[in-house]
Structure 1
Amino acid sequence: MRNIFFIIILLAFVSCKRKAKTESVKETRTSGTLKILVDESVGPIVQEQIDVFSLDYPQAKFETTVKPEEKLLPAFLNDSVRVIVLPRMLNKAEEKYYNQRNIKINTSRFAVDGIALITNQSNIDSTITVKEIIDILQGGKSDKRLVFDNAYSSTFQYFKKLANISQFPAKSVYSKNSSDEVIKLIAEDKNFIGILGINWISGRNVKMANYLLKVKTLGVKNLSGKPGADQFYKPTQDNLINGIYPFLRNVNIIDCEGRDGLGTGFATWLRSQRGQLIVLKSGLGPHKLMPREINLTKENK
């Protein structure tokens, strides 16, 4: 009896293993599991894309890590995760790791993002110039105070490069831990100007809807000789598409998997008509405006 019981258990175990193996999902452009790193400043638009892609392709699973840029890059550069979404391209030093191993770097732009400047609704000021922002970042005297989404964020790095500085001054420049914290601060304190990706101040940020009613977006005028230097522009979708809003960034998916898999499929889908419509509805600028087909029919007389 003991031998029979043992055989039954063994057969059940083998059967379960075979079943699990049979049910394992094949890695293709529309199925399998993709580990992906996402810069926090563009997190909402990427999550929307993942949600719809997963509906279209139920066998596609995503393991997503959303963090500020500087906290994502170590995992990408030590080969822990090979797909990342950033509002910029890799620099030469970052490309070196994959180039040394002869792994192709596939970079695809799928959206145009803008960095918004917001202030309390009760403030009289509704405009600011790029020169004013640079002066504050370089430590010049000003009664304005800037607050960023995170000290490790891509927006923080963007403005460091803009102002040509290695670190921000101790006064007049601050940071919070997230974009939502910036929105809350601006809604409650009129002494700050918040800096964050425009995706966070769209009507889709339902969680912060009550706070967003108490903030407004500043119009920005660019430096002389640059696009957007003729007047003050807000980060509207038209201004992103036309390239006249001063603080623009390309949102890229960077795939270093070295194979034709789910990463490749998702990157291709982001630039497809369906992916671009999601970008369009989000308020960001699409990589490419899709043509609309109009069917003309003759009316019966």
Structure 2
Amino acid sequence: MIKRVLGCALLASLMSCGNSKPPLDNPSRGSIIVAADESFQPLVTQLTSAYSGIYPDAHFKIVFKPEQEAINMMLQDSARIVFTTRLLKPNERAVLNQRKITGANEKIATDGVALIINKANTDSLITMAELKLIFSGQIKHWGQLNGGNQKSPITLVFDNNNSSNLEFVLNTFKVNNVKNLRIFTTHSNREVIDFVRKNPSAMGFIGVNWISDSDEPLSLELAQDLRVMGVSDKLKPTKRDDYFQPFQEDLGMQRYPLRRPVYILSRETHPGLGEGLINYITRDAGSLIIQKLGLWPRTPYDRVINITK
């Protein structure tokens, strides 16, 4: 009789263990996978590290992929949230709708695609009209640009075939075919920087957060021996002030032409760690980190200064 009771108790215990589910994560505890386009690596790394510093039991596994692959990870439930430059397309939204997942999207900042050139290349100003001619194949050499100081072919350098940087630029200039363009792709924004540093004829396209944090030694190191081009949306600029670089004030005031939004997209179905991170980023603390990185946060942090006589 005793053996039978013990056997039933053991069976009930095993059945109970089999039916139990692991506890859900919450805004201060748990582990989730975050996917992001590689152009946002400095931004995502600093934001998640700061959050984990506040909540030691919050853990983020960050996977950097080209933007489309990062979005696909979120749609396939291989990542909880994703940092992107765009919202979901209708067919992508349908994937979540089929699973009855409302999800969420939040704009967190304004970013810019920086055009970088070798320090030996003194032609650091360009117009949107000239860029359109370059991407249409009508301008092929630096000497064809207004003020161009070299005759070599222009090599356009991007981080990846499916990156947000390339997609954004091609969409901006309505480019459907790149076969006739002198385009070279690497594997990362850092490799774009290294390539441009070694090749005076190159024009690189990177996420500005890689070089815009003046307090970060890596940013200072990467920015050495490079020039960041000034871009004008005027057809015939007459002065230097008609050109703008992708840094904070010109992003916030919408003067830099190649600016773009930064979103966080989520598939979270409960108030979890993803929601906690999003709330942190869209409020004061997150805004301060975004500002420090040289981007323009969705809600700029107001500094109140009291002056006493």
TM above 0.5, yes or no, is yes
For 2:244, the equivalent position in structure 1 comes to 233
TM-score normalised to structure 2 length: 0.82
Matches within 5 A, 1:1-301: 27-143=25-141, 144-202=154-212, 203=214, 206-207=217-218, 209-222=220-233, 231-296=242-307
- Of stretches 190-199 and 87-96 in structure 1, the one that deviates more from structure 2 is 87-96
SS state of the match for residue 199, structure 1? helix
Give, in whole Å, the separation in 1 of the partners of 2:42 and 2:282.
17
Q: For residue 184 of structure 1, what is the amino acid of its counterpart? A: D
> Cα offset for 1:209?
4.4
SS state of the match for residue 112, structure 2? strand
Q: For residue 153 of structure 1, what is the amino acid of its counterpart? A: S
Runs (5+) with no aligned partner, structure 1: 1-13, 225-229
Give, in whole Å, the separation in 2 of the partners of 1:101 and 1:231.
49
Residue 210 and residue 79 in structure 1: after superposition, are their counterparts in 2 closer, same or farther (change >3 A)?
Answer: closer
> Cα offset for 1:172?
2.0
SS state of the match for residue 37, structure 1? strand
RMSD of equivalent CA atoms: 2.3
Residue 236 and residue 247 in structure 1: after superposition, are their counterparts in 2 closer, same or farther (change >3 A)?
Answer: same
Give, in whole Å, the separation in 2 of the partners of 1:223 and 1:109.
28
Tell me, yes or no, if the aligned pair for 1:219 and 1:232 is still in contact at 8 Å: yes
> Cα offset for 1:162?
1.4
Once the two structures are superposed, residues 9-53 of structure 1 have per-residue CA deviations (whole angstroms, 9 ceiling, x without a partner) of xxxxx9xxx9xx9xx876211211121111111111111011110
Q: For residue 116 of structure 2, what is the amino acid of its counterpart? A: I
Give, in whole Å, the separation in 2 of the partners of 1:291 and 1:248.
23
Tell me, yes or no, if the aligned pair for 1:187 and 1:212 is still in contact at 8 Å: no
Give, in whole Å, the separation in 2 of the partners of 1:223 and 1:84.
35
> Cα offset for 1:105?
2.5
Tell me, yes or no, if the aligned pair for 1:187 and 1:211 is still in contact at 8 Å: no
- Of stretches 180-189 and 266-275 in structure 1, the one that deviates more from structure 2 is 180-189
SS state of the match for residue 263, structure 1? helix
Q: For residue 87 of structure 1, what is the amino acid of its counterpart? A: T
Once the two structures are superposed, residues 194-222 of structure 1 have per-residue CA deviations (whole angstroms, 9 ceiling, x without a partner) of 11110112346644744521001000012
Give, in whole Å, the separation in 2 of the partners of 1:184 and 1:75.
29
Q: For residue 34 of structure 2, what is the amino acid of its counterpart? A: I
Tell me, yes or no, if the aligned pair for 2:118 and 2:226 is still in contact at 8 Å: yes
Give, in whole Å, the separation in 1 of the partners of 2:180 and 2:80.
36
Matched length: 273
Once the two structures are superposed, residues 187-245 of structure 1 have per-residue CA deviations (whole angstroms, 9 ceiling, x without a partner) of 11110111111011234664474452100100001266xxxxx8211112100111110
Give, in whole Å, the separation in 2 of the partners of 1:170 and 1:200.
29
> Cα offset for 1:159?
1.3
